Amino acid sequence: MAKGKKYIDAHKRYDRDHLHEPQEGLELVKSLATAKFDESVELVVSLGVDPRKADQIVRGTVALPSGTGKDVRVAVFASGAAAEAALEAGADHVGAEDLVELVEGGMTDFDIAIASPELMPQVGKLGRVLGPRGLMPNPKTGTVTPNVAKAVGDFKGGTVEYRTDRYGNVAVAIGKVGFEPAALRANFDALIGEIVRAKPASAKGRYIKKATLSSTMGPGIKLDPTKVDEGVTK
């Protein structure tokens, strides 16, 4: 795919092979963002794990202290009082069998799916729809819970999911270019701290192998993997 003029110009303004310290990298990402909209800032971390082994899948949630800067759309599979509480908490779609039918029909207008435990037998039927999109509720990420209202508040307020892909990479948007550098750094450290704490006991060798920052339309900024977790409480 052909690169735009702004993207090419941005590439000329920095050394693409230099390994930057995290704060330097965050400031560089902000300076190289030239789109007319408030671009997201994404952190991609390559981990020294074998995601083919179940005990080396790194997965969980983390509360970003500065929020995500985006409006997170939440669907909740619940009934009765739990459904009412989810609506009051700000959920965008709430339902039981009716919501299951909508999703079966192709409605996936949401970023997070949360389910109360008793609804999981029905939600489990949606694996072919939700699974490939990374939307299937899971107890490990706090998206299968009896307290669906709290989960809605958490995800609306800045909690994000992270998970290694088939290559051992974790990719998470940690905010917007319009954030102050300190706010982006707080989110960066929160995510890295959680990933470090989630290190599988069976993982051998260097854990954080590579890390890259980029804005939605900007080039990738390589980080020094030996500096990525500096200052993080382990």
- Tens of pLDDT, residues 152-197: 999 999 999 999 999 999 999 999 999 999 999 999 999 999 999 9
Full set of structural domains in the chain with CATH: 9-68+159-222 (3.30.190.20), 74-157 (3.40.50.790)
Q: What is the mean pLDDT of the chain?
A: 91
- Both structure tokens of 175: 């905010």
Model confidence at 15, pLDDT cuts 50, 70, 90, reads confident
Please answer whether residues 202 and 51 qualify as being in contact, where contact means their C-beta atoms are separated by less than 8 angstroms.
Answer: no
d(CA 207, CA 199): 8
Q: What is the pLDDT of residues 78-108, one digit of tens each?
A: 999 999 999 999 999 999 999 999 999 999 9
Share of the chain above pLDDT 90, in %: 82
What is the mean predicted confidence (pLDDT) over 55-61?
92
